[in-house]
Chain A
Amino acid sequence: MTGSSVGIADAAMTGVPAPGAPRAEAAWRRRDRRWGYVFVAPQMIGMGVFVLVPFIAALVLAFAQWDGLTPLSWVGFDNFKTELTDPLFGRALVNTMLIAVVTVPIGLGLAVIVAVALERLKTRTLYLALFFAPVITSSIAVAMIWQQLFRTDGIISRTIAAAFHVPAPDWLADPHLALIAVCIVTIWSSLGLNVVIFLAGLQNISPSVIEAARIDGAGAVALFFRIRLPLLSPVIFFSSIIAFISSLQTFDIVFVLVANAGPDNATRTIVYHIYDLGFGKTQFGVASAASILLLILTLVITAIQFGFQKRFVHYEEGAA
């Protein structure tokens, strides 16, 4: 708030002084500035201590060898070289990227379809509840349930075996199927969140735009591809960034669903790799280097997505 917007105050009062009283106003402003610092202090200190300090420490540790017990020694870029040539890290990188590349488009595509269908209905509370239930549930419970569903004597395997006359697949023991299982669970558990966000986005589209297109003779398909999808694109873009970043951080599901990123590291992800190096093998330096590589990957992918934004994201004129 600016002093000039408050003209009626008397400088003698303790509140905001009139603009005509420069000295009192300066004093008030000084006191007010102090309040500004007081108000941001808890979060600023928190950010500094719990995020910035660990972040700088990660940058430093990435260039050191340390197990937490013996003295720390500097190794330059060795940790990065170790990681970039480590087949396990390569595997984690490929798996993580595969999960992201598979789950994000499929997950968002399904969510758009469901959201568009839901928008056409007058009553949707029940469906929203059904789709959102997995979002509420802890990823550990989700992983434990699906672990049992993917058993060879489970419904999924038996259905496939019966339908294609093949032996019942052992999802979580087969390296390829295990990664697919991780993707399925990831899509299932996050679908409802994107549906809710997209539905809100669809309801934000002003009815007059749809009406105008309809008067111009647009059918349901044209309405979807020419109006709804373009106007929803900012929301889809934002969700895709969030979904991509969170799939780069896949940990809970591979930790529990396939028990320690098995079989034979077929579902090892970068975060599991970091966890394993840091807390399994107490190689804090190498683990920090892997962390920095994850950060770089995250930033690069986000930057690429922002590059794509120019071509595919359409912002409604004048809309917020």
Chain B
Amino acid sequence: MSTPKPRLTDGTLAAATDSTRALTAPGTSFRPHARPGRTKRRVTATILHVVLLLAGLAMVYPFVWMLVTAFKGLPQLLNQPLSFWPNPWQPQNFIDAWNDAPFGQAYANSIYIAILVVIGTLITASMAGYAFARIKFRGSRVMFVMFLATQMIPMQVTLIPFYLLMAKFGWVDSHLSLIVPAALANPFAVFLMRQFVLSLPKELEEAALVDGAGRWRVFWSIVLPNLRPGLGALAIIVALGTWNNFLLPLVMLNSQNLFTVPLLLQSFQGQFGSINYGLIMAASAVATIPMLVAFVIGQRQILNSMAASGLGGR
């Protein structure tokens, strides 16, 4: 779902990763020494803080609203004009949402699908990326160009034949249709891993190859450990993309016990309409809050991975 980066020369990505490492570190931005107008700068900074804080609050307002609305009871929701804060605060919507739809099951499904897709992608993409970067074999250039070309085909274009193929495989209404193709066909991941391998010094492997280690041994015990930052970035991107994927689970899955979190959320809404939207917001909160918490914990890694890849998980 992406195009090759323009003028991306070998090793560029490593440079990008290094510079983005400082992304969230405070005090790392360039400040020329002793420029005049210290007070003026301080005023500018204060104004920027105020404006950005207001804009930032506007960005998260929908989440705050979701949360407070989830605590409102039906009597309050039907009451006009509506107050912002719940009165009284009541957790009933959360209890109802959790009981009315198998959110626990959906979480388990989403987590294990994401883990399998991530592990599969990391292994296959780093293998292919390593081969394209370091091993000389006939047709490798042609294959690599083919990889880049297939990146131009959006998944939506092949959706219908893909569905028919999955039906042939007997993978409709099975998690296999979400796991196997995702783990085995990710040209972007191959491209990303190739860039990371190219940024490693060749000398690392050369000594081992001279000493008689085979390619697999070199890959497994020398290349992979050194690829750790790249693998981490790829894992985050792939996990997020898999977790938030909607169209494919929508098309592939029919049984509710197989649903992923977004799919269950959507079906929950379809089931309960929009009258008790406190309930809908509680369901949305159940589906979003764990992700937001995970984001706050891993914020630095996530932001750096996104910046390094240049396009995130779409």
Residues on A lying within 8 angstroms of B by beta carbon are: 1-2, 5-6, 8-9, 13-16, 29, 32-37, 39-40, 42-47, 49-55, 57-58, 61, 68, 114, 117-142, 144-149, 151, 153, 155, 158, 188, 191-193, 196-197, 199-200, 203-204, 207, 210-211, 214, 234-235, 237-239, 241-242, 245-246, 248-249, 251-252, 255-256, 271, 274-275, 278-279, 284, 287-288, 291-292, 294-295, 298-299, 302, 306, 309, 313, 315, 320
Residue in A55, A126, A151, A320 whose beta carbon sits within 8 Å of that of B158 in the complex: A55
Q: For B65, what are the chain A residues with a Cβ–Cβ distance below 8 Å? A: 145, 148-149, 155
**Beta-carbon nearest neighbor of A313 in chain B:** B6
Indicate if the CB atoms of B162 and A234 lie closer than 8 Å. no
Return 14 A-B CB contacts under 8 Å, by A number.
A5-B202, A5-B206, A32-B136, A36-B137, A43-B125, A54-B161, A131-B55, A140-B262, A196-B303, A245-B1, A251-B247, A279-B251, A284-B164, A320-B15
Interface of B is mostly: helix
Residue of A nearest to B137 (CB): A36
List, in ascending order, chain B residues with CB within 8 A of A146's CB. Answer: 62
Return the chain A residue nearest B47 by Cβ. Answer: A117
B156 at interface by CB-CB < 8 Å: yes
The SS class assigned to the A binding surface is: helix
In the complex, what residues of B have CB within 8 A of residue A279's CB?
A: 163, 251
Chain A residues within an 8 Å CB radius of B16: 200, 204, 320
Number of interface residues of B (CB under 8 A): 128
Least CB distance from A146 to B in Å reads 6
Q: Is the beta-carbon distance between A54 and B158 smaller than 8 angstroms? A: yes
* Residue pair B48, A58 in contact (C-beta under 8 Å): no
- One digit per residue, 1 when the CB lies within 8 angstroms of any chain A CB and 0 when it does not, for chain B 236-255 equals 00001001101100110000
List the one stretch of B19-27, B88-96, B111-119, B227-235 in contact with chain A. Answer: B19-27
**Beta-carbon contact of B6 and A238 below 8 Å:** yes
Task: Report which of A14, A126, A139, A271 forms a contact with B262, defined as CB distance below 8 A.
Answer: A139
B52 touches A256 (CB 8 A): no
**Given A42-B127, A122-B29, CB of A50 within 8 Å of CB of B184:** yes
- Nearest A residue to B27, CB-CB: A122
For residue B88, give the distance in angstroms from its CB to the closest CB of chain A: 20
User: In whole Å, how far is B190's beta carbon from the nearest beta carbon of chain A?
Assistant: 6
B 80-91 to A, binary, CB cutoff 8 A, 1 in contact else 0: 111000000000
A52 to B212, CA, bound (A): 38
Given contacts A55-B161, A121-B48, A121-B52, contact A138 B311 (CB under 8 A): no
Q: By the criterion CB–CB under 8 Å, are A40 and B132 in contact?
A: yes
A306 vs B23: C-alpha distance in the bound complex, in angstroms? Answer: 29
**A15 proximity list for chain B (CB < 8 A):** 209-213
**Residues B133-167 near A (CB distance < 8 A):** 134-138, 140, 143, 146-147, 150, 152-154, 156-165
Q: Which residue of A lies closest to B80 (CB)?
A: A153
B224 at the interface (CB under 8 A from A): no
Q: B274 at interface (Cβ–Cβ under 8 A)? A: yes
Q: State whether A295 touches B26 (Cβ < 8 A).
A: no
Q: Which residues of A contact B158 (CB under 8 A)?
A: 51, 54-55, 57-58, 291
How many angstroms from the CA of A158 to the CA of B83 in the assembled complex? 12
Inter-chain contact B24/A148, CB cutoff 8 Å: no
| Shortest Cβ distance from A279 into B: residue | B251
Q: A138-B246, A199-B307, A246-B1 are in contact. List 4 more A-B contacts (CB 8 A).
A: A15-B209, A129-B296, A136-B295, A315-B7
A136 to B237, CA, bound (A): 10
Are B24 and A256 in contact, with the CB atoms below 8 A? no
CA A248 – CA B27 in complex, angstroms?
39
The CA of A114 and the CA of B7, in the complex, are separated in Å by 26
Residues A153 and B82 in contact, CB atoms below 8 Å apart: yes
Q: Which of chain B's residues have a CB closer than 8 A to the CB of A29?
A: 136
Q: Is the CB of A193 within 8 A of B306?
A: yes
